[in-house]
């Protein structure tokens, strides 16, 4: 166990390089994204690092038993890790951009729908249009406890209106009226 700890402490300077390379690749990717309008250009630094990592790894595997081969393998692992993190950063940026684009399109379509819904309501200029009847409450008069309500029951497209009157003072309590708009 102490041998592993000694080995890690001897090579800790090599381990400190990995986060630096990864952060530099992420910063370069983000800068390229903001400076260019094209989607593919931000992938180029990560792809170049990945290709360089593969080339270095292949040359390191040929000389793997020597000290130089092990150093080349370390470098290939660092560059490959930085390339993968850079590619994932590019995918995350693309995901965020597409989500923002879709939400803005949805908001625009919702606003257009609301505007068209407001414009679709007919303006009553004459009596040939549909007549709308709503609930109408009469205010309470002092001294009377009973309230009379007119409640709309059904509106047809043929301009027939059915309404019922709820009168708590009468015996039947409900009276139905039918009327036609002329």
The 10s digit of each residue's pLDDT in 78-131 is 999 999 999 999 999 999 999 999 998 888 888 877 777 666 555 555 555 455
The per-residue pLDDT for 13 is 76
The CA dihedral of 29, 33, 39, 44, to the nearest 10 degrees, is -30
| Residue 153: Cβ within 10 Å count | 12
| % of the chain beyond a pLDDT of 90 | 35
Three-state SS at 158? coil
The per-residue pLDDT for 21 is 92
pLDDT above 80: residue 73: yes
CA neighbours closer than 13 Å in the CB half-sphere of residue 98: 7
Q: Of 87, 64, 66, 65, which is closest to residue 76 (Cα–Cα)?
A: 64
Q: Find out whether 155 and 130 touch, Cβ atoms under 8 Å.
A: yes
Mean pLDDT of 28-56: 93
The per-residue pLDDT for 14 is 74
Q: Find out whether 97 and 89 touch, Cβ atoms under 8 Å.
A: no
Give residue limits of the domains in the chain.
2-120, 136-180
Place of tokens 């180029």: 44
**Which runs of E-coded beta strand occur in the chain?**
136-137, 148-155, 160-167, 174-180
pTM strictly above 0.85: no
């Amino acid at each position: 166990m102490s041998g592993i700890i000694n080995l890690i402490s001897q090579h800790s300077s090599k381990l400190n390089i990995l986060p630096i390379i990864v952060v530099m690749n992420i910063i370069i990717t983000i800068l390229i994204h903001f400076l260019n309008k094209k989607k593919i250009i931000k992938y180029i630094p990560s792809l170049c690092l990945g290709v360089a990592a593969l080339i270095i790894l292949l040359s390191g595997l040929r000389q793997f038993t020597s000290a130089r081969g092990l150093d080349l393998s370390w470098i290939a692992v660092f560059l490959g890790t930085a390339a993968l993190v850079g590619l994932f950063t590019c995918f995350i940026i693309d995901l965020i951009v597409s989500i923002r684009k879709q939400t803005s399109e949805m908001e625009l379509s919702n606003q257009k729908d609301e505007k068209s819904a407001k414009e679709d309501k007919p303006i009553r200029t004459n009596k040939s249009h549909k007549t709308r009847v709503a609930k109408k409450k009469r205010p309470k008069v002092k001294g009377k406890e009973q309230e009379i309500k007119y409640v709309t029951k059904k509106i047809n497209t043929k301009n027939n209106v059915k309404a019922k009157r709820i009168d708590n003072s009468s015996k039947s309590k409900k009276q139905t009226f039918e009327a036609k708009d002329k």
